[in-house]
Amino acid sequence: MNDVVAKLRELLGSDCITDPALADGYLSDWRGLLRGNAACVLRPRTTSLLSRSVRICQEAGVNVVPQGGNTGLVGGSTPDETGLQIVVSTGAMKKIRTVDPVDMSVVAEAGATIAELQSAAAEADALFPLSFASEGTATLGGALATNAGGISAVRYGSARDLLLGMEVVLPDGRIWNGLRTLRKDNTGYALKHLFAGSEGTLGIIAAAAMKLAPLPVGREVAFCAVETEDQVLDFWMKLRAAADGNVRAIEYLSGSCVELAKREGLRSPVEKADHYVLVELTSSRPEAGLKDMLEAFLADRLEDGTIVDAALAQSGEQQKQIWRLREDQTEVQKKAGRDFKHDVAVPVANVPELLRRSRADVEAGFPDVTVVPFGHVGDGNIHLNVVLPAALGAERAAEHGRQISQAIYDIVLSLGGTFSAEHGIGRAKVGLLESKRDPVELDLMRRIKSALDEDGSFNPGKIFR
């Protein structure tokens, strides 16, 4: 191993990190649940250096763990404990190569953050549509490798839907240059879609071309209190019909989520309820009349009883406060005790049943637990999280967590859903994938893996055991 590290050091100089203090932040996951070790951490600055680094690793038979912003929630970017793997971070590859307002595309290196892409697009009067709470740190490469969704997927789709082209360093060190910005390109297999959602198991995304959208000029945000799960769905159906193309976000929060946020000092602008929905409408047409539209829509919903209270933000500051109730959930839940995450999706029509059954089953079996579901209701994607009291002790919490997860996944699958909607498989859901997915599907996935990564050296233990 010393020889390999010496060669990498020769190639990358101080961008080959061996100092434990400097390497530390790359060795554990965002949630603080996993801690690994690595022979070194590489931060190549160009695709060519990335490719040469990977080739050195490949020739020495060393396993590689790709990493972007390290904000993933399923342990995909953490090395194992052996100290024999090498973390390859794209953090130093941040160039935004082109923003093309005619083509409506951006070409950027993998380490550019989502927030940097949003800013670069806005400077050219365009919108980079991906958006989620970790956007200040999460990278383009990571978002594509996990096929991240987020709050505006209901309007613009997930990362994959925005993908036009890719530059990838393959496990043998070769560079595949598929960095095209064409809107139509039916030239054989769409290889880029293999790498989207592949979680660092097939190659390292070095750069990507992504679609942009028109920059919104109008933005309205409202927060509503709702009495029942069915009314949450009813509200969304009515909003979709009334505002259709203008809905940028429709997010669900349970009453328990808002109570947790209040404990952290946040304020809700509506009366207390069992359920809440957050709506954001945007338009790139100044004359769209979004405010009148939303005001009239909310008045109608109060009138027909779909909602019991509503607040339409009157300033940018109020919009931010409303969004914090939603965007701070991951942090708030992390602080509240031992949090167990279930990033699930069901057909949208089954969301009320999912919310009802999971809460009833979990609360009946585990009186100590707080069920804190929230998320992207328009996509049928609910973060069906639970928090157990910290006082329960690690071992009992783990055992309760295991039983609760099983109960939740059983409900999700019985409703035609999936156990990973937008966060991926990583290390956390390897067993679930293996036990719950169709054997033919698994066989095809394994064949793709071995065709691209013959030695199995790219992110071993992730997606597959």
Using CB under 6 A as the criterion, which residues of the chain lie in contact with ligand FAD when the complex forms? 30, 66-73, 76-77, 90, 110, 132-134, 138-139, 141-143, 145-146, 148-150, 199-200, 204-205, 330, 422-423, 426, 459, 462
DSSP 372-419: EEEEEGGGTEEEEEEEE-GGG-HHHHHHHHHHHHHHHHHHHHHTT-BS
E-state strands within 96-143: 96-100, 105-109, 126-127
| Chain residue whose CB lies nearest ligand 2HG | 330
Q: How far is the CB of 372 from ligand FAD (least distance, A)?
A: 14
375 binds, among ligand FAD, ligand 2HG, none (CB under 5 to 8 A by kind): ligand 2HG
Q: How far is the CB of 165 from ligand 2HG (least distance, A)?
A: 26
Cβ proximity to ligand FAD: between 199 and 453 the closer is 199
Nearest alpha carbon to residue 425 among 30, 143, 146, 28? 146
Determine how β-strand 175-178 pairs with β-strand 163-169.
antiparallel
Does residue 446 sit in helix, strand or coil?
helix
Q: Which residues bind ligand 2HG (CB under 6 A)?
A: 132-133, 329-330, 341, 375, 383, 385
321 binds, among ligand 2HG, ligand FAD, none (CB under 5 to 8 A by kind): none
Give how far Cα 239 sits from Cα of 297, 368, 390, Å. Answer: 8, 36, 39
Q: How far is the CB of 68 from ligand FAD (least distance, A)?
A: 3
383 binds, among ligand 2HG, ligand FAD, none (CB under 5 to 8 A by kind): ligand 2HG
141 binds, among ligand FAD, ligand 2HG, none (CB under 5 to 8 A by kind): ligand FAD
Exposed/middle/buried for 348, CB within 10 Å: 0-12, 13-18, 19+?
middle
Q: How far is the CB of 197 from ligand 2HG (least distance, A)?
A: 15
Cβ proximity to ligand FAD: between 345 and 371 the closer is 345
Cβ proximity to ligand FAD: between 36 and 426 the closer is 426
Residue that the structure tokens 């919490």 belong to: 397
User: Rounded distance, CA 225 to CA 216, Å?
Assistant: 27
Cβ proximity to ligand FAD: between 198 and 283 the closer is 198
148 binds, among ligand 2HG, ligand FAD, none (CB under 5 to 8 A by kind): ligand FAD
Q: How far is the CB of 407 from ligand 2HG (least distance, A)?
A: 18
DSSP 209-273: EEE-EEPP-EEEEEEEEES-HHHHHHHHHHHHHHHGGGEEEEEEEEHHHHHHHHHTT---SS---
List 327's β-bridge partners, or say none.
Answer: none
| Residue pair 283/246 in contact by the 8 Å Cβ criterion | yes
Which amino acid does the sequence have at 389? P
139 binds, among ligand 2HG, ligand FAD, none (CB under 5 to 8 A by kind): ligand FAD
Q: How far is the CB of 280 from ligand 2HG (least distance, A)?
A: 14
Q: Spell 423-449 as b/e; 16+ CB within 10 A means b.
A: bbbbbbbbebbeeeeeeeeeeebeeeb
Nearest alpha carbon to residue 297 among 393, 222, 192? 222
319 binds, among ligand 2HG, ligand FAD, none (CB under 5 to 8 A by kind): none
Q: How far is the CB of 293 from ligand 2HG (least distance, A)?
A: 26
Contacts with 157 (C-beta within 8 Å, 6 or more apart), sequence order: 129
Q: How far is the CB of 274 from ligand FAD (least distance, A)?
A: 23
145 binds, among ligand FAD, ligand 2HG, none (CB under 5 to 8 A by kind): ligand FAD
Cβ proximity to ligand FAD: between 301 and 462 the closer is 462
233 φ/ψ angles, rounded to the nearest 5 degrees: -65, -45
Cβ proximity to ligand FAD: between 99 and 332 the closer is 332
Q: How far is the CB of 376 from ligand 2HG (least distance, A)?
A: 6
User: Rounded distance, CA 219 to CA 330, Å?
Assistant: 24
Cβ proximity to ligand FAD: between 139 and 231 the closer is 139
385 binds, among ligand 2HG, ligand FAD, none (CB under 5 to 8 A by kind): ligand 2HG
| Chain residue whose CB lies nearest ligand FAD | 142
User: Rounded distance, CA 128 to CA 126, Å?
Assistant: 7
User: Rounded distance, CA 340 to CA 373, Å?
Assistant: 11
452 binds, among ligand FAD, ligand 2HG, none (CB under 5 to 8 A by kind): none
Q: How far is the CB of 78 from ligand FAD (least distance, A)?
A: 9
User: Rounded distance, CA 80 to CA 153, Å?
Assistant: 32
Cβ proximity to ligand FAD: between 229 and 422 the closer is 422
Cβ proximity to ligand FAD: between 77 and 306 the closer is 77
Q: Spell 102-126 as b/e; 16+ CB within 10 A means b.
A: ebbbbbbbbbbbbbbbbebbeebeb
Q: How far is the CB of 150 from ligand 2HG (least distance, A)?
A: 7
